């Protein structure tokens, strides 16, 4: 999905109109996985200075709602976005600096983990966030 034509195709396949803000936002999130809103706005505006903040916010909301982007918001952290969707992967977050990385599904098929009691829910996704210290923060702690 990294090329302009690939992004247009993804939007069309989702029955969305291809607009400059949508293409720019999807390209920015693809190029900057786990980016926050301000980082995405900065990336979009470097390429398209006339695209408004509101157009970026609207595009992020729509693309997330339609499942083309995923919003990640670990407790105590700002929202971040990624274009890796549909595989129910998880994340690891540094408690010190907030670095975030993908972690593939630990075991089994989606939703990866099976609840001991589903309380009658039809579970289709499990969200797991691993917490710890990234290598840089570990080194700083021992120095």
CATH number at residue 28: 1.10.10.10
| 84, HSE (Cβ side, Cα atoms, 13 Å) | 16
pLDDT, position 100 = 92
**Residue 67 and residue 9 in one domain:** yes
Q: How many domains does the chain have?
A: 2
Q: Is residue 58 part of a domain?
A: yes
- CA–CA gap between residue 3 and residue 47 (Å, rounded): 14
Q: Which two tokens stand for residue 116?
A: 């001991």
**Residue 28 and residue 53 in one domain:** yes
Residues facing residue 55 across a β-bridge:
none
**Residue 9 and residue 68 in one domain:** yes
Domain span holding position 125: 86-142
In terms of pTM, does the model score above 0.85? Answer: no
Q: Which sign, positive or negative, has the C-alpha torsion 62, 63, 67, 69?
A: negative
Q: Which residue has the higher pLDDT, 126 or 34?
A: 34
């Amino acid at each position: 999905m990294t090329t302009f034509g690939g992004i247009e195709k993804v939007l069309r396949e989702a029955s969305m109109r291809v607009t400059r803000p949508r293409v720019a936002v999807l390209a920015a999130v693809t190029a900057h996985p786990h980016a926050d809103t301000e980082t995405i706005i900065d990336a979009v505006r470097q390429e398209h200075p006339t695209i408004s903040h509101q157009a970026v916010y609207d595009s992020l909301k729509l693309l997330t709602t339609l499942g083309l982007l995923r919003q990640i918001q670990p407790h105590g952290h700002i929202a971040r976005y990624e274009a890796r969707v549909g595989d129910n992967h998880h994340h690891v977050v540094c408690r010190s600096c907030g670095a975030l990385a993908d972690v593939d599904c630990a075991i089994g098929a989606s939703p990866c983990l099976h609840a001991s009691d589903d309380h009658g829910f039809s579970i289709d996704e499990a969200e797991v966030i691993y917490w710890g210290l990234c290598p840089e923060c570990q080194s700083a702690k021992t120095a």
